[in-house]
Amino acid sequence: MIPLALVAITALHAVPQRDLGKAEGACRPSETGPAFMVQVDGLKDRSGLLKLEVYPSTDADFLDDDTHLVEKGLVFRRVEVSPAMTGPVRICVRVPSPGRYAISLLHDRNGDHRFNISIDGIGFASNPKLGWSKPKASNSSAIATSGITPTVIVINYRHGLSMRPDRP
């Protein structure tokens, strides 16, 4: 049996509008903030794409369809990058103002822009343990300062019927 959280995450990441939130999310070369500098830990490999998304920190809006969020005038940011082949992997994403935001990070290992539960990985700010339902926004969020706010997200992959970091 597949945990409900994984079904919900799969559905929410299934058909994204690839350009929504990208212009607003892309950090400038000399970014001063407010922005998150996300260090990505626990990658299984350096294949595919990393898709970092920023949402409002409310349960009703966290992982909601990007089109709905934009239509409602709510915060939604997206950055997609190929992981660096060596060294630390860091992704910068701008936010509109200091405050609390929920953050998800997908490791789309085959680069098809869809969450495939059997091969892809996922992680969230504050690194909540993934269970039978989607994580709460409050457990998947971080507070942005007026500058560059560092945060670490550990990627989880499917191991049997659970999602966990790809570590022994």
3-state secondary structure of 163: strand
Please tell me whether the overall predicted TM-score, pTM, comes out greater than 0.75 for this model: yes
Instruction: Give CA torsion, residues 157, 119, 68, 90, to 10 deg.
Output: 60
| Res 10: pLDDT | 52
Distance CA 2, CA 168 (A): 22
The Cα–Cα gap between 159 and 107 comes to: 15
The pLDDT value given to residue 122:
95
Tally Cβ neighbours within 10 Å of residue 56. 20
| Residues across the chain | 168
Q: For each of the chain's 168 residues, which pLDDT tens digit applies?
A: 455 455 455 544 544 556 778 888 999 999 999 999 999 999 999 999 999 999 999 999 999 999 999 999 999 999 999 999 999 999 999 999 999 999 999 999 999 988 998 999 999 999 999 977 899 999 999 999 999 999 999 999 998 888 999 875
pLDDT score at 17: 57
Structure tokens that stand for 109 in this block: 């290992």
- Between CA 10 and CA 5 the distance in angstroms is 8
Tokens matching residue 32: 């001063």
Q: In Å, what is the CA distance from 93 to each residue of 1, 55, 59, 149, 168? A: 35, 12, 21, 10, 30
